[in-house]
A and B are shown apart, each in its own frame.
Chain A
Amino acid sequence: MIGQDKVKEILLRTLSRKRIPHALLFHGPKGVGKEAMALELARAFICQEDELYACNQCSDCHRIAHLTHPDVYFIFPFTGKITVDEEKAILKSVVDNPYMRSNPWATPSISIEQIRQLKKESSLSTFENKGRVVIIAEAHLMTPEAANSLLKLLEEPPSKMYLILTSSNHMALLPTIISRCQCLRFDPIEWRDIAAALTQRASVEESQANIIAKISSGSYRRAIELLDEDIDNKRTKVLDLLRAIIKNDFERLLAMEELVKSEEKNEIKELLNLLLLWFRDALIYIEGEANNSTIINIDQIDILDKFCHSFETLDVKRITDEIETAIQLIDRNVYINLIILNLFYRLKHNLRRK
């Protein structure tokens, strides 16, 4: 498990007291390890070798990690009908990396059929009599019928059955579901933990790992996705953009507008997030706290130095407010070109040279 020390501590305490709640709800942002923790917990429940932890060596641990254990069910949202091969592919993606789950559907949901199947399974006894664990990923995507149908099972599951629901948007769950579960909040992971995981698991170079970890805003899934993207190129783009704003270079700004047309909403948001990080670095630099662990864009420290010295006063607070407003507006589906032009204008206003 990457990070999540607080959650680990709580779970270990319940395990050691042997007071395991029969229904748990893990909620928190995407990619912080809710499903990974659920699988780990399933192993700790079922593994007979050790009281608290999974031994990771016995056949049970091995099979749970491969999602081939007869008494561990993994339920995930999808759209329409799913073939056995598709289901296999999804399960494999979870097995390969529990922080990720491939999701080829635009608007997936958990149907009442899936819950009925689960209820049918749970009316039979366990296969190996060591207890069984049901993991319902992204439980807020249950249709209202499915959620209501789950209530009975959630309230009084058969003996030795534990249900773990995970959700990245738990406010969308029915209150009747939430009230039947013990809730555990997952916070974004510390960047140091992500960086360490990236160097160990994905064998990324440390400097690169640090930058990606910081940019990933606490989501390991995001960090892995960032590995495949040309993050350096994007950071250069952000700097270009800043230069254009400062130099009053309208041609280049217009070129940016072209970019808005060609890029997706999420890409634009990402560029703005990178811009935010740049100003965060600038603030730290101005305050004289700059060192390897505080500055994200540590490889661009020279440019940062020049940047910070070109302005008499730099009202970072105001600038970041402007950028954050822009990001919020994008989320609310305001016309992107307008947001961007407006933002450029305001940034220009705030960035006056000596």
Chain B
Amino acid sequence: MDFTTSKNDFYKGLQKVIGVIPSKTTIPILENILLELNENTLQLTGTDLEICVSTELKVNGVQNGSCTVPAKSLNDILRELPDVPLKLTLDEEGKLHLKTEKGFYKLMSQPKEEFPSIVVEESEGDMEIDNNFLSRMIDKTVFAVSHDELRPTLMGVYFQLNENEFRCVATDGHRLVRIANTAFRASEFQKSVIVPTKALNLISKNLESPSEKEDSKVKFSIGENHVIFRMTDTYVYSKVIEGQYPKYENVIPNNNDKKLVVNKDELASSVKRVSIFSNIITHQIKCSVEENSVRISSEDIEYGGEGNEVISAKYNDEPLDIGYNANYILDMLKHMDTEEIQFLLKDSVSAAIIYPIAQRPNEDLMMLIMPIRLND
């Protein structure tokens, strides 16, 4: 392997991959980064065995080849270098020489064969989705994912590809978020997959990087045991969660007929204040819905604190008292973009459905929250 490049290009490429490389692991090769040179394209790959990130950059290739070197050493030396031309060559003893005008550094390398291999094919089923839209869908769902290891299927976001829409669903059993892109066309096939949150966080971070163009697209494909997201020069390969995602449609009620419309910010700030006096374990608040107003109250029996606020709302149905976990409410409000939101209610022990007052074009966003039974 023999190529020349500039420090800044190389370092920028390295930064995309380095985040995934584990610092302490029982498999030493994982602390390495894989460098593969094919003509004028250098591919950098790192993995923690759950996710694999790979990025390409243009260099001046002299001789093809591959090797793996400790990512930390490489990153540390590049960080300390000014933006100078670099020449990298692999010698016969398996050492990677990094030459600058001023001197040279040698890094111990290990052969590629030791490194976990993944086979990524340019499969025909590649689907394209707008960068912004994917990042939006991840952002709207990932917060609601469960952290309960006893139900592993809930620990990821459910990607559902239907004929004419692309849905993401996340739930932890107490709340559920469903967002669909109705402009999406996936011809001829239906697929679904549960993607672990770790990969999603990484992708949305990569998508947000300012160098990406505004209207760029992400290609993604679902394989038998993996999912791949391709950005312009980088791809993220992730394991998927195996198992059947629960039939979430069954828990979404369709006979919630009592409509409540409130101002989102007003509700959020009230809940925030009142929840200070809620029980520190349950975070329980009580919403008393009456004609054109909502009273939000909490009571901490242990310490005797109390909170009470009334906000105006649009509601003309029978009065209801419903208990909620304040944190769940706040989480959901944070991910609503419209000024006003509407709740669809049934009674004090049934799930509430929350919609933004108006959906964005080609989008369908819905959130669901389970109440806490009030014991009085």
Contacts and interface: CB of A to CB of B under 8 A. Distances in A.
Interface of A: 59, 62-63, 66-70, 84, 87-88, 91, 116, 119-120, 122-129, 158-159
B91 interface: no
8 contacts: A68-B27, A88-B26, A123-B152, A123-B153, A125-B226, A127-B239, A128-B116, A129-B224
B155 to A, nearest CB: 8
Interface in B20-60: 24-29, 47, 49-50
Contacts of A63: 113-114, 116
B240 A124 contact: yes
A315 B82 CA distance: 88
Contact of B196 (A84, A119, A124): A124
B50 A124 contact: yes
Contact of B240 (A67, A122, A125): A125
Interface of B: 24-29, 47, 49-50, 113-114, 116-119, 149, 152-153, 155, 196, 223-226, 239-243
A95 B224 CA distance: 31
A127 B239 CA distance: 6
B152 A158 contact: no
Contacts of B116: 63, 69-70, 127-128
Contacts of B119: 128
A313 B369 CA distance: 92
B26 A59 contact: no
Contacts of B149: 116, 119-120
B27 A125 contact: no
B242 A158 contact: yes
A59 B24 contact: no
Contacts of A59: 113-114, 117
Contact of B152 (A87, A88, A120): A120
Given A125-B242, A128-B118, A129-B224, A70 B26 contact: no
B225 A125 contact: yes
Given A125-B242, A128-B117, A129-B225, A68 B50 contact: no
A126 B152 contact: no
Given A124-B241, A125-B240, A127-B239, A70 B153 contact: no
Given A62-B113, A129-B224, A124 B239 contact: yes
Given A128-B116, A129-B225, A87 B26 contact: yes
B201 to A, nearest CB: 16
A125 B193 CA distance: 11
A68 B113 contact: no
Contacts of A125: 224-226, 239-242
Nearest to B149: A120
Given A59-B114, A128-B116, 10 more contacts: A67-B27, A70-B27, A87-B26, A123-B152, A124-B239, A125-B242, A127-B116, A128-B117, A128-B119, A129-B223
A66 B114 contact: yes
Nearest to B153: A123
Contacts of B25: 84
Contact of A123 (B24, B29, B49, B241): B241
A129 B228 CA distance: 14
B202 to A, nearest CB: 15
A124 B242 contact: yes
Contact of A126 (B26, B225, B243): B225
Nearest to B224: A129
A87 B26 CA distance: 7
B35 to A, nearest CB: 17
B27 to A, nearest CB: 5
Nearest to B112: A59
Shortest 5 CB-CB contacts between residues of A and residues of B:
A123-B152, A125-B225, A124-B239, A59-B113, A70-B116
Contacts of A122: 242
Contacts of B50: 124
Contacts of A69: 116
A25 B53 CA distance: 37
Contacts of A67: 27
